[in-house]
Structure 1
Amino acid sequence: MATINKRLFLTGASGLLGRAIYKKFVNEGWTVYGTAYSRVAAGLHKLDLTDDSEVKKAIVQFKPSFLIHCAAQRFPDKVDLDPEGAAKLNIDTTRCLAQVAGSIQVPLLYISTDYVFDGKSPPYAVDAVPSPLNLYGKTKLDGEKVTLDVGKGNLVLRVPVLYGPVEYLAESAVTVLLNSLLQTDKQCKISDCELRRPSHVDDIADICLQMAVKRLEDENICGIFHWCGKEVFTKYGMLVQMAHTFHLPYDSHVTPDSSTPSATTTPRPYDTTLDTSRLEQLGIGHHTPFSVGIKSALQSWVR
């Protein structure tokens, strides 16, 4: 088997998932050009992804063998507040990256979301027809389309809500729940309605590595892939698991809210369970039990 050229160009390398991917590939002996914009940590390169000429220059000079596009506006409420900015990052930047990758004949892996589905008829196969409920899901779906339209050999990986070691608790919709647990003097309601299958970012990073290696060995490995955690929780269920993990009280100040969200909030799908069989048939997959993953992710936040 020919040795693959291990050079990764990674956008969003300072983000929640990007940090895990960067670390995983570096640990596996890859040379990684990680880009960041507002949080440029050591080893990363500051790059404005909305500046097409700078993006093209950086990629062409680095000569990658594989690209992963992690950078996105991934908070649905923020997408609603700045639809233009979200479209730039989630669609236009993706198009530019796919075009540059195509021009140097290098595959692109685009990280997408389970929010491309309306959550009404899970589990969703890779060829299920998307029907996003909110603008975030729509922009990510448009990003998928340009990824696959520009380069037939490109890949899309749809993932669920992610968690892992965070720089601030609100960096993940999962870890932010710890705030409600710790603020015992504040009564709060936590949604006990929509079902989620959280995935640890280290699992997704491992899957991205396996996909990159397989794609570089076999150009037929392309198109859409799904991954999600094996356990199902509501937000309240995740909070209860955190409480048990860290022996924290919750009964007296946290109430489960089983009502459907009001029409004034950004709509979210009910159950977006993804069918992961296409990856599993390739021997690709990784699941960290939630109790284990959440303990390692939040240990330093619990005194």
Structure 2
Amino acid sequence: MKSKKILVTGGRGMLGSSVAKMASLFPRFEVRALGRDELEVTDEDAVMAHADWIQDGWIFHCAAKVTVEGCARDPENARAVIVGGTSNVARLAEKARARLLYPQSFLVFDAATCPIPEDAQPMPLSLYGNLKYEAENIVAATLPNSLIIRMAGFFGGEAADKNFVGRIIPLMYQAMIDGQQSFDVGDRIWQPTWTDDLAYNALHMIDRNASGYYQMACLGSASFAELAREIVSALGWNDRFSINTVSAAAVSGDELGKRPDAAILSCKRLEDDGMNLQRSWKASLQAYLRHPYFDPYRIESSS
């Protein structure tokens, strides 16, 4: 069977590292996952240098600024990476006759209707969402056969995790060590999805040469507070620490970009096409937290 080459940008980040790991489950994939120190997507010449290697293959474009706050603090750099970098990668795909998978954020939507229909018109509430949508439009205009997957908010990557799970665990752990017995977490609702699950599912779609727009998320949904309780339970803290549910507004006063209070994606096309390989958020979170990276939290807290 002929091998299929896949170039992963942002290959050391949350999603990119999962793509590199999960690709080993597809024997005919030949993957080159490059971190920012190996491929700076804002450098057009550096991007185009990969044209010969990726000829007729796939590009999984994970390189991006991934935080709403980070984009708000440095909008010029955010635009250069998200829009400029994506434009460079799209030109690479065009030159090399490669297919492009663009992982999109659910934050391109205002979530006025939930579940968010697959034909919903994007209405970003933040600069991050606006830049991601602008980049998506470049991909769609340049590469009509691209695969654009709008993904739910995710966790994964252990030390690379810049999202809720990665940030809340050390904060809660330190609070517990300092003698706090409870912690306030907001009631904003989302679909916490493991990057390993997203990566495996997306690679399966590459294997099937899928194209067009899809939405992808875990089975079920949870508030941030519910997710925090599951973390407390998984790490064995129940007898020492509890979670108080508060309104999202009570804990989001310093946010630099607005987010929907509830964001749930419809994944009907993925289901109809027989390609929905997602698990429940609880099952995937429990599996993720069994990684040795979390042992210091688990061991220290159970003494």
TM-score band w.r.t. shorter chain: 0.7 to 0.9
Q: Retained in 2: the 8 A contact 1:211–1:284?
A: yes
Q: 1:121 to 1:251 in 2, by over 3 A?
A: farther
What's the offset of the Cα at 1:264? 5.8
Please say if 1:75 is aligned against 2:59. Answer: no
Question: Which of residues 152, 158, 170 in structure 2 aligns to 1:160?
Answer: 152
Instruction: State the SS of the aligned residue for 2:266.
Output: coil
Question: Which of residues 55, 65, 72 in structure 2 aligns to 1:63?
Answer: 55
Question: Which of residues 173, 184, 187 in structure 2 aligns to 1:189?
Answer: 184
CA distance in 1, matches of 2:193, 2:118: 18
Q: 1:89 to 1:165 in 2, by over 3 A?
A: closer
Q: 1:252 to 1:7 in 2, by over 3 A?
A: closer
Give 1:269's aligned residue: 260
Question: Which of residues 79, 84, 91 in structure 1 aligns to 2:76?
Answer: 84
What's the offset of the Cα at 1:155? 1.4
Give 2:194's aligned residue: 200
Residue identity opposite 2:184 in structure 1: K
What's the offset of the Cα at 1:283? 1.2
Give 1:132's aligned residue: 124
Give 1:37's aligned residue: 36
CA distance in 2, matches of 1:49, 1:152: 21
After superposition, the CA RMSD in angstroms is 2.1
Instruction: State the SS of the aligned residue for 1:241.
Output: helix
Instruction: State the SS of the aligned residue for 2:208.
Output: helix
What's the offset of the Cα at 1:6? 1.0
Instruction: State the SS of the aligned residue for 2:49.
Output: helix
Please say if 1:102 is aligned against 2:97. Answer: no
CA distance in 2, matches of 1:64, 1:34: 17
Residue identity opposite 1:248 in structure 2: W
TM value normalised by structure 2: 0.88
Q: Cα deviation per residue 1:271-297 (whole Å; 9 max; x = unaligned)? A: 221111111222112223333322332
Residue identity opposite 2:194 in structure 1: H
Q: Which moved more, 1:284-293 or 1:200-209?
A: 284-293
Please say if 1:151 is aligned against 2:143. Answer: yes
Q: Retained in 2: the 8 A contact 1:69–1:111?
A: yes
What's the offset of the Cα at 1:263? 7.7
Q: Retained in 2: the 8 A contact 1:180–1:254?
A: no
What's the offset of the Cα at 1:47? 1.4
Gaps of 5+ in 1: 39-45, 216-220
CA distance in 1, matches of 2:2, 2:146: 17
CA distance in 2, matches of 1:287, 1:17: 15
What's the offset of the Cα at 1:64? 5.2
TM value normalised by structure 1: 0.88
Q: Cα deviation per residue 1:34-76 (whole Å; 9 max; x = unaligned)? A: 11124xxxxxxx1111110111012334435111101110110
CA distance in 2, matches of 1:280, 1:232: 17
Q: Cα deviation per residue 1:135-177 (whole Å; 9 max; x = unaligned)? A: 1111111111000000111111111111124125x53322322
Give 1:240's aligned residue: 229
Q: Retained in 2: the 8 A contact 1:161–1:173?
A: no
Identity %: 21
CA distance in 2, matches of 1:211, 1:253: 40
Gaps of 5+ in 2: none
What's the offset of the Cα at 1:252? 5.5
CA distance in 2, matches of 1:264, 1:71: 23
Question: Which of residues 4, 7, 29 in structure 2 aligns to 1:9?
Answer: 7
Please say if 1:230 is aligned against 2:225. Answer: no
Q: 1:105 to 1:264 in 2, by over 3 A?
A: closer
CA distance in 2, matches of 1:13, 1:64: 20
Q: Retained in 2: the 8 A contact 1:174–1:235?
A: no
Residue identity opposite 1:189 in structure 2: D
CA distance in 1, matches of 2:194, 2:105: 14
Give 1:293's aligned residue: 284
What's the offset of the Cα at 1:122? 1.4
Q: 1:113 to 1:234 in 2, by over 3 A?
A: same
Residues matched between the structures, number: 287
Q: Retained in 1: the 8 A contact 2:147–2:211?
A: yes
CA distance in 2, matches of 1:113, 1:53: 27
Q: Which moved more, 1:23-32 or 1:115-124?
A: 23-32
